[in-house]
A and B are shown apart, each in its own frame.
Chain A
Amino acid sequence: AQKITQTQPGMFVQEKEAVTLDCTYDTSDQSYGLFWYKQPSSGEMIFLIYQGSYDEQNATEGRYSLNFQKARKSANLVISASQLGDSAMYFCAMREAYNTDKLIFGTGTRLQVFP
């Protein structure tokens, strides 16, 4: 079964607008961590933001925020004020407490920002 599901293969957003990238996950662990990464066409994976399962507040890092809804098992990434440089693949990933060595990635969402 898929542990991490990203249902949007591609998204378009106009510059300066906000965009939400969806991520749902499946785990029976109470303790886990959720990560978002950005991968430009150059190939490097860039860490964006982290949310722990016990964190009461949604994580924020600059223009990135994570809309964490634990009961729904969703961890959506919100990018505010999109920029052309935000065009990239975005991956949601999870690490479970029982298997802390493994970071499992979703299938990704390709975001394209247009002027």
Chain B
Amino acid sequence: DTEVTQTPKHLVMGMTNKKSLKCEQHMGHRAMYWYKQKAKKPPELMFVYSYEKLSINESVPSRFSPECPNSSLLNLHLHALQPEDSALYLCASSQTTGGGSPLHFGNGTRLTVT
């Protein structure tokens, strides 16, 4: 069982909807990440939070809005998405952002935008 929990597992939303993806970890990790993965492609980094502060935004469109309410939780708020945003969204955490600290991933949320 993964120690990073993502909900929901699947999400279908219309282009005018507002929804949120949730991610939770209880490993005491201080860095959390959002990745987007299209089919047959590697994960692409979207956002990094380090000690609950946003440290990286990879020029992600503003229709994606991350939030880190505390060190265990990471949300991704979605609004006015496009069909091309359909993908697997992976959350990950690591002890810190440096060195050999591996990322631990959740099972992902499969998002379909209609």
Contact in complex: A52, B105 (CB < 8 Å): no
Contact in complex: A44, B100 (CB < 8 Å): no
Contact in complex: A47, B103 (CB < 8 Å): yes
Contact in complex: A44, B106 (CB < 8 Å): yes
How many interface residues does B have (CB within 8 Å)?
A: 26
Interface-central residue, A35, A52, A103, by most chain B CB under 10 Å: A103
Does residue B114 face the partner (Cβ distance < 8 Å to A)? no
Could you give, for residues 34-62 of chain B, a 1 whenever the CB lies within 8 Å of some chain A CB and a 0 otherwise?
A: 00000001110100101000011000000
How many interface residues does A have (CB within 8 Å)?
A: 23
Closest CB-CB distance, A40 to chain B, in whole Å? 10
8 Å CB contact of A43 from B41, B45, B88, B97 = B88
Does residue A45 face the partner (Cβ distance < 8 Å to B)? yes
8 Å CB contact of B56 from A33, A91, A101 = A101
Please report which residues of chain B, range 40-97, place their CB below 8 angstroms from some CB of chain A when the two chains form the complex.
Answer: 41-43, 45, 48, 50, 55-56, 88, 90, 92, 97
Contact in complex: B42, A35 (CB < 8 Å): no
Could you give, for residues 33-54 of chain A, a 1 whenever the CB lies within 8 Å of some chain B CB and a 0 otherwise?
A: 1010100001111110010100
| CA distance in complex: A43, B109 (Å) | 9
Contact in complex: A47, B102 (CB < 8 Å): yes
Given contacts A101-B31, A106-B42, A107-B42, contact A42 B107 (CB under 8 A): yes
Contact in complex: B48, A101 (CB < 8 Å): yes
Contact in complex: A44, B45 (CB < 8 Å): no
Contact in complex: B31, A43 (CB < 8 Å): no
Interface, chain B (partner A; CB < 8 A)? 2, 31, 33, 41-43, 45, 48, 50, 55-56, 88, 90, 92, 97-100, 102-108, 110
Interface, chain A (partner B; CB < 8 A)? 33, 35, 37, 42-47, 50, 52, 91, 95, 97, 100-108
- List 6 additional contacts besides A44-B105, A100-B97, A101-B31; criterion CB under 8 Å: A35-B103, A42-B107, A45-B103, A97-B98, A102-B56, A103-B103
